[in-house]
Amino acid sequence: MEYSRSVAAFLDACTDCVGCVSCTAACPFLQRYGTPDEIITGHPQDAFLCTNCGGCSSKCALGLAPADALFQTKCDLIRTGNIPSMVRQALSKARNFADTGHRFPFIYYSATDTVFWPGCGLAGMYPSIVRKIPEILSKNLGIKVGVVLDCCYDPVYQLGDVNMTKTAIKSIKENLKRHNISRVITGCPNCHKIFSRLLKNITIEHILAVIPQDEFAPILGEKIYLHHPCPALLSGRIRQQTRELLIDRQDQMTVLDSQELLCCGYGGALSSISPALAEQFTYRIIDASGERPIVTYCTGCKHRFIKYRKNSYHILDLLQGFRPLQKPVPSLHRWINRLLLSLSERFKSLVLTSCIWIIFS
């Protein structure tokens, strides 16, 4: 295949360290299929088995970015249409998922300067928490915080369809502008990643950077394993904020911080393309956690862990007044939750508009 400029530059630099396999230690995929340069030059379609976690880049002896080269290889293959049937099916599913979440009746935008953007996972798995967080933020920030229900198209992006993602981001930016929104607080690290990369001139923050510590209830007597999801590689601020929320309360718990960013196997649609390989990623974290429950801040990771019957928490499970989610939420139920959230927000907006009209008419 013809390599893009960035991939060709990576391949040239990677050959300067012949025999180096330092990056493979970070990844079950590379351990099975070879180094990134071997995959790109020998079996480029295998790049779709990469979860985009970035672990290989963190281990590169030359300070290169093999994860970026593997991702760009995906993009190049999609652009040329040279993709395996399993990937084609996964991409079609991701596109349908994102498109559905980006249109009526699932989409909703509050007309407030600052909004909470929960992301598809939180809206589907934790609708009661999504309803509560704007109230918490409004109280603590001293401003009215609304909510946006929409899809950031990360499932499409992770498979390498950057063009479709950029088109969607352009539409999202227009919607934000139309509703006079200039500050977005995300509940999802993947949404935070996408917006930080592609959404310009909008203030992007993660919920863990702004929500007060005293809103969380303690896990009394627990020893926990803190898992950092892959997108946190881009934000030391999010990782540090999570550590502070948990580790600062050592009188109540003992925290084993994973330190490294270990992928759960959900990224890049790997669980659809190669379930067996995805399982290796999942069990790597489960084994590392031992008997400790896992605390993470990605709904995809949380859903993955409880699917394998591992006691785990999303950090927002620990908000006061809420019971932790203990069982996987079926796909249909997640869509119903998202629909009901959107309808309830529309109803509240309609009632408010009607009251204002009555008062001033």
Cα distance between residue 91 and residue 97, in whole Å: 10
Cα distance between residue 277 and residue 29, in whole Å: 7
Phi, then psi, of 113 in degrees rounded to 5: -60, -40
Instruction: Give pLDDT tens digits for 3-12.
Output: 889 999 999 9
CA atoms within 13 A on the CB side of 269: 25
Instruction: Give pLDDT tens digits for 298-338.
Output: 999 999 999 999 999 999 998 999 999 989 999 999 999 99
The confidence score (pLDDT) of residue 62 equals 86
Structure tokens that stand for 59 in this block: 């281990």
Phi, then psi, of 87 in degrees rounded to 5: -70, -40
The confidence score (pLDDT) of residue 24 equals 87
Confidence band of 348 (pLDDT split at 50, 70, 90): confident
| Mean per-residue pLDDT of the chain | 89
Structure tokens that stand for 242 in this block: 């999570």
For 116, other C-beta atoms within 10 Å of its C-beta total: 27
Cα distance between residue 59 and residue 204, in whole Å: 28
Q: H helices then E strands: how many in the chain?
A: 16, 9
SS3 (DSSP) at 222: strand
Q: Dump the DSSP string for 308-361.
A: TT--EEEGGGGBTT-PPP-SPPPHHHHHHHHHHHHHHHHHHHHHHHHHHHHHH-
Q: What is the pTM of this model?
A: 0.91
With pLDDT > 90 as the criterion, what percentage of the chain qualifies? 70
For 260, other C-beta atoms within 10 Å of its C-beta total: 13
Query: For residues 123 and 257, which has the higher predicted lDDT (pLDDT)?
Result: 123
Structure tokens that stand for 208 in this block: 């863990």
> Under CATH, to which class is 98-211+330-360 assigned?
alpha beta
Cα distance between residue 108 and residue 178, in whole Å: 12
Instruction: Give pLDDT tens digits for 21-56.
Output: 888 888 999 999 999 999 999 999 999 999 999 989
The confidence score (pLDDT) of residue 297 equals 93
Cα distance between residue 313 and residue 301, in whole Å: 10
Structure tokens that stand for 260 in this block: 């490294």
Instruction: Give pLDDT tens digits for 125-167.
Output: 999 999 999 999 999 999 999 999 999 999 999 999 999 999 9
User: If you count them, how many residues does the chain have?
Assistant: 361
